[in-house]
Amino acid sequence: MDMPVRNVTSNEYRKTQQYNLKISRKFFALGQHQVSLASKNTVEHGVILRGDLAKIKIGDYTIFDQDCIIRPTLNSANPPFEYKEINIGKCCYIGKNTIVSAFNIGDHVYIGENCIIVNL
């Protein structure tokens, strides 16, 4: 599958000089200190990263399309609830309106639109 082509203006995104990230101005992250974005990532409008639950590590060249949610999964089903760190590999694409709540996503993974990925 081919990656979608995006034609946008540069004022819709914040570019950081240090890591060369392309982050939407309408992106939302909870617990930003626990979210680790590598270089050359793209985060589109409406993306939610739930770093308030546990650490989120994201590899190089990963694209998060519009309105997707990345949240760590529960490590235990009994109170007190604990969340496990989520690792997303390099060169991944997470499609529109997708929810990812898993332990790991490998390298070179394409997840389409409207998917729900969870660990049970």
Residue 11 lies in a domain: no
> Which residue segment(s) compose the domain that 73 sits in?
16-118
Residue 2 lies in a domain: no
Residue 70 lies in a domain: yes
Confidence of residue 3 (pLDDT cuts 50, 70, 90): low
Encode pLDDT of 23-72 as tens digits. 777 778 888 888 888 888 888 889 999 999 999 999 999 999 999 999 99
3-state DSSP call for residue 35?
A: strand
Residue 74 lies in a domain: yes
CATH number at residue 82: 2.160.10.10
Strand ranges inside 11-92, DSSP E: 13-15, 22-24, 28-30, 35-37, 42-43, 48-50, 56-58, 63-64, 69-70, 73-74, 83-84, 86-88
Residue 1 lies in a domain: no
Total number of domains in the chain: 1
Residue 9 lies in a domain: no
pTM of the model: 0.80
Residue 47 lies in a domain: yes
